[in-house]
Structure 1
Amino acid sequence: MAQPVDPSGLGRVLSETMSALGRFTAGADGEAPPPPEGVGEAADGLVRVTAGPPGRITALTLDPRAMRLPSESLAEEIATAVNAALVDLQEKAIAAVPGQVDLTSLGEQLRRIQEDAGRQLTTFTDALVQAQDRLSGQGGR
């Protein structure tokens, strides 16, 4: 199948813009980073909880020795581990944002794309004006 003709080059500019935004949201290596994961433990490691976004418990592991604890104590230890996992998740989610966002780099890329698009649009407009002038000149013959 033939590629569509893009004399203005705007399709390429839009593609570059989307690519830059994709790199911005995906990270430097082009792949989306894994979601952060929070981990909390209690009862000297007998209770372990894992939490993921948006604050859901994704795993609860109880060492068999934890089952020897009285039920009220076990419930308290589970609550402690859950809260620790959610705090860890929150801290990791906040810490992940600044390291992944390089607004200076993205701004520079978008500025170059904008300048390139402006030059291409000017060239395209000039070509249209010249073509119109040539057509106007031919009609008078």
Structure 2
Amino acid sequence: MSWPAPDQDSLYFDQVLQQTRDAMRHLRTAKHLIGQIEGTGEAADGLIQVTTDAGGALRRIDLNPRVLRLAPAVIGREVTKAIQAAQDDSARRAKEIVDGVAPYVGALPEPLDETFVQHRVEAAMRDMHSGGL
């Protein structure tokens, strides 16, 4: 792993903090947008309309009275098709939002670990021994 020079630590941390704030802002926006998703699906030539939320939970099923002309087994299959279409639509919309945020989250640098601190301590020790401090 490559770390900033010790005299650049403050600048590096400021940049990481700003990148993190930007990523969090985008994530909050994405969460809000996902919360507003309504997936829609239709079946039986539009006689059945379904709305789901981003998680695929049913919000609404609208049945045109003409759907009752169909056999009960057909109505059941068509309602299932409409639900699946609505769930697919909401999943696609949620994925588009998540994909839009991914570059901001993926751009965050790897977290610093104990090797960073060890590297800094070893550098300070070398500087002390060489009279640099």
Scaled to the shorter chain, the TM-score interval is: 0.5 to 0.7
Report deviation, 1:17.
Answer: 8.5
In the alignment, structure 1 residue 79 sits paired with structure 2 residue 80: yes
Report deviation, 1:43.
Answer: 0.6
Q: What is the match of residue 43 of structure 1?
A: 44
Within a 5 Å distance, the mapping from 1:1-141 to structure 2 comes to: 20=22, 22-27=24-29, 32-35=32-35, 36-103=37-104, 107=108
TM-score (norm 1): 0.53
Aligned residues: 96
Unaligned 5+ runs, structure 1: 1-12, 111-141
Q: Counterpart amino acid of 1:33?
A: L
Q: Counterpart amino acid of 1:46?
A: L
Structure 1 window deviating more from structure 2 (89-98 vs 74-83): it is 89-98
* Aligned mates of 1:24, 1:63 — CA distance in 2: 40
Tell me if the contact between 1:24 and 1:102 (Cα under 8 Å) persists in the aligned partners.
no
Tell me if the contact between 2:33 and 2:97 (Cα under 8 Å) persists in the aligned partners.
no
- The 3-state SS of whatever aligns with 1:94 is helix
Report deviation, 1:80.
Answer: 0.9
Q: Counterpart amino acid of 2:88?
A: V
Task: Find the structure with the greater CA-based Rg.
Answer: 1
Q: What is the match of residue 115 of structure 2?
A: none
Tell me if the contact between 2:34 and 2:94 (Cα under 8 Å) persists in the aligned partners.
no
Report deviation, 1:101.
Answer: 4.3
Tell me if the contact between 2:52 and 2:86 (Cα under 8 Å) persists in the aligned partners.
yes
TM-score (norm 2): 0.55
Unaligned 5+ runs, structure 2: 1-13, 110-133
- The 3-state SS of whatever aligns with 2:58 is strand
| Matched-pair identity in % | 30
Tell me if the contact between 2:34 and 2:54 (Cα under 8 Å) persists in the aligned partners.
no
Tell me if the contact between 1:47 and 1:81 (Cα under 8 Å) persists in the aligned partners.
yes
